[in-house]
């Protein structure tokens, strides 16, 4: 969910595999993102219910769905 994201690094498009880091920079997961880096930068720190209001559309409730996430 976008509310838990604290930073976005790099440039990526929806459908790419991205790495999730913890607060110390340790790699904790990798997953298939539903949104691009530009979209994530607009919706981070917001609830999933606000995605449609911010972007004008909603592809999914999650940035990375749990079925597309691998914990490292």
Output the domain CATH number for residue 7: 2.30.130.10
Q: Residue 2 carries which DSSP code?
A: G
Looking at residues 32-48, what average pLDDT do you find?
94
3-class SS of residue 20? strand
Task: Read off the pTM.
Answer: 0.88
The pLDDT confidence band at residue 54, using thresholds 50, 70 and 90, is very high
Residue 1 reports pLDDT greater than 70: no
Structural domains in the chain (count): 1
The pLDDT confidence band at residue 6, using thresholds 50, 70 and 90, is confident
pLDDT at position 5 is 85
Residue 20 reports pLDDT greater than 90: yes
């Amino acid at each position: 969910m976008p509310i838990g994201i604290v930073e976005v690094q790099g440039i990526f498009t929806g459908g790419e595999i991205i790495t999730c880091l913890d607060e110390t920079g340790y790699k904790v997961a990798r997953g298939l993102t539903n949104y691009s880096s530009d979209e994530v930068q607009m919706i981070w720190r917001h609830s999933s219910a606000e995605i449609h209001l911010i972007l004008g559309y909603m592809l999914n409730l999650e940035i990375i769905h749990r079925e597309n996430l691998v914990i490292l």
